[in-house]
Structure 1
Amino acid sequence: MPRPIKVSLQPALHEANRLSWNAATPVHNSHKYSQANFFRDGGMTLFQEEKDPLGDVAGTRLLHLLCNAGQDTLSLARLGAVVTGVDISDGAIAFARSLSAETGISATFERADAYSWLKEAGERGEAFDIVFCSYGAFCWLSDLPLFAHLVRNVLTNNGRFICVEFHPAVLVFDSDWTPLFEYGSGAEPVTLQQGVEDYVAQSGVGLAPSGLSQGATFFSNPYPAYEFQWGLGDVISSFTASGLVIRHLEEYSYSNGCKLFDDMAGLPGGRWAMPDGRPKLPLMYGLVAGKHLP
């Protein structure tokens, strides 16, 4: 049974992050060449590390939380899932809806804070076979135990929560490997005065599989952002305390898409690895949780 939780939600900081993401989202997409044509030609933005735990999603009801501008959401729909994407950014959801219309790939997109959306969905009795999020999702959640509890409430009896996420061990460093953040500081927010940055320009084709355009240059976000540094122990304990069972946990010594550090080595398929001369670290991990063991 789920354990009682102490709520420490910080919606005011979520709202500040919405403004920062609204400023950054059009800049990110300015670097991605002809996304509509990419999808119309059969393109897919999911990596194998997401597709493997997802398995055959055809006909499943799938909820994609913190879906950003919807590229992965549409990729999930292309695999046959009935998908709802939820994101706090107005600009991201507007772009996702436009891309869905341009490509003819059907998905539902809703602009909302994940917490309020999940709470209302649970009260409506909605249930999903899969709840999914990936790559820089947990760092925007001010109350991870509450998030896990709300996710559990919208899973079907045999449903699964699946995420592929950047490893918190490397998120303590700045882009030049300077230790900057405390590991596992949890609900204590970290203020990013520079806001959400133009990480697509920094990462190149890894985050622009449709092709890289120069796009916006010299972007400076006028809105600060606030992150929450959850350790891997926080993640596991949050989901197990919610009543979910960890079915799978895997760490990876490379990063998909995003170039986390300035001197990373590029790998085939849009991946990034530790540079020569540095010891390997886990750069991301995959997690699968459900109400029961398989």
Structure 2
Amino acid sequence: MKKELHEANRLSWNAATVAHNSHKGDQAAFFRADGSTLFPEETALLGDVKGLALLHLQCNAGQDTLSIARLGAKVTGVDISDEAVAFATRLSAQSGIPARFERSDVYDYFRDAGARGERYDIVFCSYGTLCWLSDISAWARGVAQLLEPGGRFVFIDFHPYAMVFDETWQFHYDYFNDAPVPEAGVGDYVVQSGDGLVRDDYEPGVQDFRNPNPSFEFAWGVGEVITALAEAGLAVERFDEYPYANGWKPFEGMRDIGGKRMAPPESMPRIPLMYSLVARRPKAP
């Protein structure tokens, strides 16, 4: 693991999270009015969570975590960013939706939670998460360790194939890339996507955001992800690909095809922009 790069990413996310939330208005009021930030894909993959213990890894500022808690799960959210966890904790209190949040590097959380004997019925993570992980095998082992026998890992993310393009749809990044990719810093993708990632009224918020802290991303192909989960002892039960990206408009000409599902221009062939999977920890024979 490259913990020094994780630390750089923590600082970068601290700065970016302030900018992201500046566009989202009164989020506590949104949740008090029964708002939810989940897309139909997540709710379908999660199924009935009422009364279940659920761990949300890399939960960012907690909006999806609280949306899941509203469905009746007992949720714990974990994120590396101090700013994100502080915001999530305030949002939980102000919205009246109970949840527990912990600031931790995900790998440290696996170690500490394992030592405490924590186990969950569901481990969940979504959207822009794997690209911040420097060791996919250690991550998969940590997920498996924290699942109850029979428990499920539920995952949805943007497809790594889409990550080979720059914003003009030109091939730019290597799909098979073993080295960390240095970036200028976590950007303001909320501005980039306009109201695609804002469920209530979009606000201008922070303008012309430039992150003062660089960031580092990691490329994990679909095969590497599935293999890591299988080697960790999880049985993949479902794998799906989608020709759209929920809420996110990273490329030129993307259009809303309904429900804030963003697709390439009509002139382009359809390509996978998201994928999801469900994997289960087998019960002891």
Give the TM-score normalised by the residue count of structure 2.
0.97
Letter in 2 for 1:218: D
Instruction: Choose which of 81, 101, 104 in structure 2 pairs with 1:109.
Output: 101
For the pair 1:84 / 2:48, whether they are aligned, the reply is no
Q: Deviations over 1:97-140 (max 9, x none)?
A: 11111101000000000000011111221100000000000000
Gap regions ≥5 residues in structure 1: 1-8
Tell me how far apart the structure 1 counterparts of residues 136 and 32 of structure 2 sit (CA, whole Å). Answer: 37
Counterpart of 1:124 in structure 2 is 116
Counterpart of 1:168 in structure 2 is 160
For the pair 1:52 / 2:28, whether they are aligned, the reply is no
Letter in 2 for 1:271: R
Counterpart of 2:138 in structure 1 is 146
> By how many angstroms is 1:267 displaced?
2.3
Letter in 2 for 1:267: I
For the pair 1:200 / 2:175, whether they are aligned, the reply is no
For the pair 1:191 / 2:182, whether they are aligned, the reply is yes
> By how many angstroms is 1:292 displaced?
2.9
For the pair 1:289 / 2:279, whether they are aligned, the reply is yes
Q: Is the 8 A contact 1:27 1:219 kept in 2?
A: yes
> By how many angstroms is 1:198 displaced?
0.5
Instruction: Choose which of 9, 30, 43 in structure 2 pairs with 1:17.
Output: 9
Counterpart of 1:213 in structure 2 is 203
Letter in 2 for 1:55: G
Structure 1: which 4+ aligned runs deviate by more than 6 Å? none
Q: Deviations over 1:212-252 (max 9, x none)?
A: 00111111111110000100011111100111110000000
Q: Deviations over 1:154-207 (max 9, x none)?
A: 100010111111000010111111222110324x20000x21000001111221
SS at match of 1:174: coil
Aligned ranges for residues 263-278 of structure 1 at < 5 Å? 263-278=253-268
Instruction: Choose which of 23, 29, 50 in structure 2 pairs with 1:37.
Output: 29
Say which is worse superposed, 234-243 or 118-127, in terms of deviation. Answer: 118-127
Counterpart of 1:240 in structure 2 is 230
> By how many angstroms is 1:257 displaced?
1.1
Instruction: Choose which of 235, 242, 245 in structure 2 pairs with 1:252.
Output: 242
Q: Is the 8 A contact 1:164 1:287 kept in 2?
A: yes
Q: Is the 8 A contact 1:169 1:283 kept in 2?
A: yes
SS at match of 1:170: helix
> By how many angstroms is 1:270 displaced?
1.5
SS at match of 2:77: strand
Tell me how far apart the structure 1 counterparts of residues 70 and 201 of structure 2 sit (CA, whole Å). Answer: 20
SS at match of 1:106: coil
Q: Is the 8 A contact 1:24 1:221 kept in 2?
A: yes
Letter in 1 for 2:104: A
> By how many angstroms is 1:53 displaced?
1.2
Instruction: Choose which of 65, 68, 72 in structure 1 pairs with 2:64.
Output: 72
Letter in 2 for 1:189: P
> By how many angstroms is 1:262 displaced?
2.2
Q: Is the 8 A contact 1:77 1:106 kept in 2?
A: yes
SS at match of 1:93: helix
Tell me how far apart the structure 2 counterparts of residues 138 and 290 of structure 1 sit (CA, whole Å). Answer: 19
Letter in 1 for 2:147: L
Q: Deviations over 1:54-85 (max 9, x none)?
A: 00001000000000000000001000000000
Q: Is the 8 A contact 1:67 1:133 kept in 2?
A: yes
Tell me how far apart the structure 2 counterparts of residues 247 and 285 of structure 1 sit (CA, whole Å). Answer: 14
Give the TM-score normalised by the residue count of structure 1.
0.95
| Identity level (%) | 54
